[in-house]
Amino acid sequence: MIGELDVAVAEFPFGEMTCNEMSFTERDERYRRLHEWPEPTYPHPSGLRMIWKYADVREVLDATTPGLSTANSLDPLVGFGRIAATPRALPHVVRHLVPPPAAATANLTDDQLHKRVWSTMAGPTGHFTIAPGERTHRAAAMAEHFHAVCDSLHQPRAGAHLDVTTISIAYAAQTVGAAVGLPPTDWPQVAVWSGAQSGLLGRAMRGRELADAVRALGWLFTVSSRATRARRGDEATGFARRLRDAGISRRIAVSAMANSLAAGVHTVSGTLQQGVQRLLADPERKWWKLLTEPEGCARVAAKLLQLDPGLVAWKRRAETPVVLRSGTQLPAGPLLVMFGAANRDPAAFPDCLDLHGSGKLPLTFGFGRHICPGKSMATLAVEVFLRQLYELAPDAELVPHAGHTAPRRSDLLFSGADITVRW
């Protein structure tokens, strides 16, 4: 407990460290301390004001309260000015990002148009929605991706090491690349490009690293543009064709595709890495053993998505000073909406670390108009991966520090873990 006298000297739990740099035990401890912090907001040195209380996070994600905007959701953390001032980045901007891509998803502020794009992806018949009747064959296709990746990276033998981090990224890239309709030759690059693009949103990059990230973002748009050109014809099927049939312009369709590629990979793979760490760190393997049967597997996946999502926060902006319904006051400026933290708010989840703990709807996939259209696909992808990993290596053990020597980087949005297991 932080007493009043300690407040002045207590360290804000997420002032310097980000989730991406912590093991799950440290994350558990810092989130616990966060919810004891006496203030409901914190001015982070990045310039973003952090919020973490469940009710505040939900209201700000929803962004229907006057003064709250989604317009900055996909802005790079360092701002467009720094990109413009980075000479190495400019050729990539010119090659891939001129004219500038259209807003199509998270940062599209035209509500009517956004609704049209969102409905092609989500809702009962959306492209990324997995209807109950489709679960079995979609799960089988995901399992094939899992095994294709494992076969390409590892020789199956007892005692060998499995690099869960690499496998999970390649698996998520294949799963999302296939759903979006990119040709398989592009899938390996999607993992790299979407990693760099994700970094642009949550990391303070500069110089060559910033230029490389801009290049990667550019490529996401370029391959999406090629895929929409190839797949909007009358014979075509898939996402591009659906967007066309919904009357969505090609320019917006390209952005919807690129945004989905960027959104789907490290969110899923980060969840898997952190989740496997939590499951295998338990000496009794209580949750791990539940992966043997479908209901247990679904429950464990849902819990990991609540506690250890690969995306922990998202951006919004207060255009004017705003007072939220809880009374929390937000000055005008950019916000970091910490939904990973909100998922552990004791006011909403009395015992969040309990697998059977009760509580409100976790905010992992957002809330309101922009709620994640990939939700059902991502949830199934997490279930399938965990189940397949369990079946492949039921006695897997974590191998500390194997093969991953560089420290994980500071990232305000995305979070993962370097995980190797012994077969």
Q: Which residues bind ligand HEM (CB under 6 A)?
A: 61, 70, 73, 105-106, 118, 121, 128, 176, 179, 259-260, 263-264, 267-268, 271, 309-311, 314, 364-366, 370, 372-374, 377-378
Residue 376: CB minimum distance to ligand HEM, A: 9
CB of 42 to ligand HEM, least distance (A): 20
HSE-CB for 236 with a 13 A CA cutoff: 18
Q: How far is the C-alpha of 387 from the C-alpha of 404, rounded, in Å?
A: 24
Q: What are phi and psi of 420, to 5 degrees?
A: -120, 140
Q: Is the CB of 274 or the CB of 420 nearer to ligand HEM?
A: 274
CA–CA gap between residue 125 and residue 243 (Å, rounded)? 13
Report residue 315 as tokens.
Answer: 């951006």
What is the spatial distance between Cα 360 and Cα 417, in angstroms, rounded to a whole number? 27
- Determine contact, residues 339/366, Cβ cutoff 8 Å: yes
Query: CB neighbours of 136 closer than 8 A, spacing ≥ 6?
Result: none
Closest contact distance (angstroms) between CB of 130 and ligand HEM is 11
Identify which of residues 183 and 207 has a Cβ nearer to ligand HEM in the complex.
183
49-51 and 333-337 as β-strands: parallel, antiparallel, unpaired? Answer: parallel
CB of 405 to ligand HEM, least distance (A): 27
Provide the minimum distance between the beta carbon of 370 and ligand HEM in the complex, in angstroms, as a whole number. Answer: 3
Q: How many CA atoms lie within 13 A of 246 on its CB side?
A: 24
Q: C-beta of 45: minimal distance to ligand HEM in Å?
A: 23
User: What distances in angstroms separate CA 253 from CA 119, 258, 261, 291, 379, one per listed residue?
Assistant: 13, 9, 12, 38, 24
Q: How far is the CB of 192 from ligand HEM (least distance, A)?
A: 17
Q: How far is the CB of 378 from ligand HEM (least distance, A)?
A: 4
CB of 128 to ligand HEM, least distance (A): 5
Looking at beta carbons only, is 216 or 380 nearer to ligand HEM?
Answer: 380
Answer for the pair 65, 322: CB distance below 8 angstroms, yes or no.
yes
Name the residue nearer to ligand HEM (CB basis): 55 or 311.
Answer: 311
Closest residue to ligand HEM, judged by C-beta, is 374
Tell me the residue ranges of DSSP E strands in 240-350.
314-318, 322-323, 329-330, 333-337
8 A C-beta contact, residue 63 and residue 70: yes
- Phi and psi at 50, nearest 5°, equal -85, 140
**DSSP code, position 407:** P
Torsion angle defined by CA atoms of residues 136, 138, 140 and 141, in that order, rounded to the nearest 10 degrees:
170
Which CB, 61 or 162, lies closer to ligand HEM?
61
CB atoms within 10 A of CB 213: 25
CB of 61 to ligand HEM, least distance (A): 5
| Cβ contact 197:216 at 8 Å | yes
Least Å distance between CB 221 and ligand HEM? 14
> Which is closer to ligand HEM, CB of 13 or CB of 366?
366
Take residue 262 and report the two structure tokens written for it: 């960027």
The two beta strands, 322-323 and 420-422, are unpaired
CB nearer to ligand HEM: give 211 or 380: 380
**Based on CB atoms, which residue is closest to ligand HEM, 146 or 212?**
146
CB of 202 or CB of 366, closer to ligand HEM: 366
- List the one residue out of 176, 167, 170, 164 whose CA is nearest residue 138: 176
Nearest to ligand HEM of 210, 419 (CB atom) = 419
